[in-house]
């Protein structure tokens, strides 16, 4: 699942991209802004999107200038009606450049391209079975074994990591923690929850029941990835009933 943010001073342009993101599998829209200065503050400090769709010709701060301030935190796909900005866009390390009006097909191709870039940059964890995290106690670092994690919950500006025996509060973002956990074992199932697949007891389409009868909501946009994992483990009969 890749998170997205839209910055454009035209509301109808935001509506178009938002509808595309809603229809596209594997994407989640975190928000949008018509004010580039507001977007700068949010992207640097709050929302942390994987992909930002960014208009270029905007008042107060151009998209090119904004990209230079955020492109170390997010992949930027420029969206503009002006082809003359292309050279400047790629000088800002643009992941892609979409000319308005943007077709859904072109949008999907761009997202696929940028998603592959993000995947190649994500760390792999083939030999790792743990990480260390800073807790809410100053100076304290705690070892966290992957097998011990039951689920993770995001609350405002911090996340709580639940094991079978305790809970740990850390000021990581969900995006930061998700990147640190092995993707073949941990799944984002809701904007506020990550679960350890090894701790799942049942899935009923709207909720996930974990060990100790902990119920976690299952968000619509996260179902596909979890179902793909379940299908790899699903044992079913080929006999007709």
Mean residue pLDDT of the chain comes to 87
pLDDT digits 0-9 by tens, 3-21: 899 999 999 999 999 999 9
In a domain, 239, yes or no: no
- CA dihedral sign of residues 33, 37, 39, 42: negative
> Is there a single domain that holds both residue 145 and residue 193?
yes
Nearest to 49 by CA among 37, 63, 39, 35: 39
| Predicted pLDDT of residue 122 | 59
Q: How confident is the model at residue 123 (pLDDT cuts 50, 70, 90)?
A: low
> Is there a single domain that holds both residue 110 and residue 148?
no
pLDDT digits 0-9 by tens, 136-165: 777 778 888 999 999 999 987 889 999 988
DSSP secondary structure code for residue 102 in this structure? P
pLDDT at 239 over 70: no
Count, residues in the chain? 241
Comparison of pLDDT for 88 and 151, the residue scoring more? 151
pLDDT digits 0-9 by tens, 186-202: 999 998 999 999 999 99
State if pTM tops 0.85: no
> Is there a single domain that holds both residue 11 and residue 112?
yes
Q: How confident is the model at residue 179 (pLDDT cuts 50, 70, 90)?
A: confident
- Indicate which CATH number applies to the domain containing 161: 2.40.50.1020
- Indicate which CATH number applies to the domain containing 106: 3.40.50.2300
> Is there a single domain that holds both residue 51 and residue 116?
yes
pLDDT at 127 over 50: no
Average pLDDT over residues 116-127: 65
Tokens of 203: 């899935």
The C-alpha atoms of residue 97 and residue 17 are separated, in whole angstroms, by: 14
| Predicted pLDDT of residue 126 | 44
> Is there a single domain that holds both residue 143 and residue 185?
yes
Q: How confident is the model at residue 125 (pLDDT cuts 50, 70, 90)?
A: very low
Domain C-terminal end among 69, 97, 121: 121
Domain C-terminal end among 121, 154, 171: 121
> Is there a single domain that holds both residue 13 and residue 115?
yes
Average pLDDT over residues 119-134: 69
Show the domain range for 226: 130-233
> Is there a single domain that holds both residue 90 and residue 150?
no
> Is there a single domain that holds both residue 13 and residue 104?
yes
Q: How confident is the model at residue 236 (pLDDT cuts 50, 70, 90)?
A: low
| Predicted pLDDT of residue 237 | 59
Asked if omega into 235 is within 30° of 0 (cis), the reply is no
Tokens of 217: 């909501």
The answer to whether 161 and 146 are in contact (CB under 8 A) is no
């Amino acid at each position: 699942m890749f998170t997205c943010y839209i910055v454009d001073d035209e509301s109808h342009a935001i509506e178009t991209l938002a509808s595309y993101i809603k229809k596209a599998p594997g994407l989640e829209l975190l928000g949008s802004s018509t004010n580039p200065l507001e977007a700068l503050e949010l992207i640097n400090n709050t929302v942390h999107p994987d992909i930002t769709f960014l208009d270029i010709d905007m008042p107060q701060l151009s998209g090119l200038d904004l990209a230079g301030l955020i492109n170390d935190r997010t992949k930027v796909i420029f969206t503009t009606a002006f082809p003359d900005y292309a050279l400047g866009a790629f000088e800002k390390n643009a992941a892609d450049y979409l000319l308005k009006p943007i077709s859904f097909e072109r949008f999907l191709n761009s997202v696929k391209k940028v998603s592959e870039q993000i995947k190649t940059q994500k760390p792999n964890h083939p030999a790792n079975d743990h990480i260390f995290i800073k807790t809410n106690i100053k100076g304290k670092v705690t070892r966290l074994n992957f097998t011990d994690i039951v689920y993770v919950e995001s609350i405002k500006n911090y996340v709580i990591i639940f094991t079978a025996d305790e809970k740990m509060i850390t000021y990581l973002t969900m995006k930061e923690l998700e990147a640190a956990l092995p993707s073949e074992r941990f799944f984002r199932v809701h904007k506020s929850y990550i679960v350890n697949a090894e701790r799942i007891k049942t899935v009923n389409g709207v909720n996930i029941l974990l060990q100790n009868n902990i119920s976690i909501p299952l968000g619509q946009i996260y179902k596909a990835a979890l179902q793909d994992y379940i299908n790899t483990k699903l044992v079913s009969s080929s006999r007709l009933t």
